Structure 1
Amino acid sequence: MTGRQRARGGGVSGLWWDAGMASRVLYLLGSAAPPVLQTADIVVEAQRDGWDVCVGLTPTAAHWMKDELRSLERFSRHPVRSGYKLPGEPDAWPPATVALVAPATFNTVNQWAQGLTDKFVVGFASEAIGKGIPLVAMPCVNAAYARHPQFGRSLATLREVGVRVLYGPGGFEPNEPGRGRPDAFPWRLALDAASEAAGG
């Protein structure tokens, strides 16, 4: 049974994983590219690696996954966040050990590099730079977007401030428009990089 099947079935009690067993907290922050629809499966895979996983989504990604959000919250045991909390409201998530921004769209990468924080996912990732929280990013863009000059500048900016960007050889490599392969998105590479960023 896949993570998404477990999520839709609400089979939390059948999962071996318990949040109390995990000491490492992974913030999985996704934006609206097709691999985000695999989030439930990736949460289960990360839990098997010993992570307590908190899921954050851009508003569009949350809309894409609206039918899965409640079950995803049940088996991750944390609220899925797509907006900022209210002033004075307690934080619903434990502190992050590391944050993985994946899939990171063209828009998310550029907003993050330029400090444009109207979206919770980008706001957290931007503040995390200053807080010293380890950050890993795996973009998901097609080759036409990748040719835009701002995209390369944004990746360089993120790398300069210490974000581990998995793009190019050994990371995500873009396809031409219309030829994307969401099932080939290298999630395992991203999770391994998150573990390395957290110190093993």
Structure 2
Amino acid sequence: MTTTRRVLYLFGSAAPPVFDVATVIQDAQARGFDVCLGLTPTAARWLAPQLGELERLTGHPVRSEYKLPGEPDVWPKADVIAVAPATFNTINSWALGLTHDFVVGVVAEGIGKRIPTVTMPCVNAAYVQHRQFERSVAELRAMGVQVLYGDDGFVPNQPGQGKPTEYPWHLVLDAVEGIRRS
């Protein structure tokens, strides 16, 4: 049986909006995507009580670690990747090619495989003062990643003033949907 559902790898880092990922998965599924959820190790720890439900919701194992050599891949191939929320650490590690965890490894390789990729940071205004952050955003954009940051995406709050429920998840899904149409 052939399906027209496109496969979305949704990757989340340990930032407060990750707690809303179940709703985001449902929204992506309503838009016609088969969603595979990957989390950084800390995000997986934060969501540990929900992992079983998230697996039932997606129909796929939630992954946060590399598989062992020789093990079969448990996910279908990605048509598009979304990395959100993407922390300061995730953005910088990815741009620098530091694949210390599963999420960063897959998205770094995804660039080479030419898998369309969207990311939206979730960082505070103090972090973005570090010069490496802007360099990393520019580097990801130069590699073809659609970075939703600034006027057309995430705008940082002052430290301790974040509003996780106002994280603009819809922008990520709109961008993913736009890629699907192209």
1:93 match: 75
- What RMSD over aligned residues (CA atoms) do the two structures have, in Å? 1.0
2:58 match: 76
Q: Which runs of 5+ in 2 are unaligned?
A: none
Match of 1:57 among 21, 36, 39: 39
2:112 match: 130
C-alpha contact (below 8 Å) 1:26/1:97 kept by paired residues: yes
| In structure 2, C-alpha distance between the alignment counterparts of 1:112 and 1:170, rounded to whole Å | 21
| In structure 1, C-alpha distance between the alignment counterparts of 2:47 and 2:4, rounded to whole Å | 26
TM-score, L = length of structure 1:
0.89
User: Within 5 Å, which residues of 2 pair with 1:143-158?
Assistant: 143-158=125-140
Following superposition, the deviation at residue 85 of structure 1 comes to 0.6
Amino acid in structure 1 at the alignment position of 2:155: E
Following superposition, the deviation at residue 118 of structure 1 comes to 1.1
Q: For 1:143, what is the secondary structure of its paired residue?
A: coil
User: Within 5 Å, which residues of 2 pair with 1:101-180?
Assistant: 101-180=83-162
Amino acid in structure 2 at the alignment position of 1:52: D
1:120-155 deviations in whole A, cap 9, x for unaligned?
000000000000000000000000001110000000
Amino acid in structure 2 at the alignment position of 1:30: G
User: Within 5 Å, which residues of 2 pair with 1:2-17?
Assistant: none
| In structure 2, C-alpha distance between the alignment counterparts of 1:162 and 1:172, rounded to whole Å | 18
User: Within 5 Å, which residues of 2 pair with 1:26-65?
Assistant: 26-65=8-47
| In structure 1, C-alpha distance between the alignment counterparts of 2:48 and 2:166, rounded to whole Å | 23
1:3-36 deviations in whole A, cap 9, x for unaligned?
xxxxxxxxxxxxxxxxx85520100000000000
Identity of aligned residues (%): 60
1:51-105 deviations in whole A, cap 9, x for unaligned?
0000000000000000000111012100000000110111100000100000000
Deviates more, 1:189-198 or 1:56-65: 189-198
Number of aligned residues: 181
| In structure 2, C-alpha distance between the alignment counterparts of 1:158 and 1:139, rounded to whole Å | 12
| In structure 2, C-alpha distance between the alignment counterparts of 1:40 and 1:26, rounded to whole Å | 14
| In structure 2, C-alpha distance between the alignment counterparts of 1:22 and 1:34, rounded to whole Å | 33
Amino acid in structure 1 at the alignment position of 2:92: N
C-alpha contact (below 8 Å) 1:140/1:172 kept by paired residues: yes
Q: For 1:68, what is the secondary structure of its paired residue?
A: helix
Q: For 2:48, what is the secondary structure of its paired residue?
A: coil
Q: Which runs of 5+ in 1 are unaligned?
A: 1-19
